[in-house]
Amino acid sequence: MKAAEVREFTAAELDRKYAELKKDLFNLRMQHATNQLENPIRIRDIKRDIARVMTQIRANTDKDAVKEAAGK
């Protein structure tokens, strides 16, 4: 997933994507622990996707706070 793709998501889509990625990461960690994971690099990729989503969630939150402060 590219950062440009993440920027296009709405807040609801970001929340849903975050939950989905956390679930995927949990499953990958379980597979890794039981030696069933074929591609351990997938864990790194999922972690990076989570970071991208969290960064965008934080950026949206900061934008809302600035708008709120400007309105007062």
Per-residue confidence (pLDDT) for residue 22, from 0 to 100: 98
With cut-offs at 50, 70 and 90, classify the pLDDT of residue 72.
Answer: low
| pTM, full prediction | 0.87
Q: What ranges do the domains of the chain cover?
A: 9-71
Per-residue confidence (pLDDT) for residue 59, from 0 to 100: 94
CATH class given for the domain over 9-71: mainly alpha
41 in helix, strand or coil? helix
Instruction: Summarize pLDDT for 5-52 with one digit per residue, the tens.
Output: 999 999 999 999 999 999 999 999 999 999 999 999 999 999 999 999
Q: Is pLDDT above 80 for 71? A: no
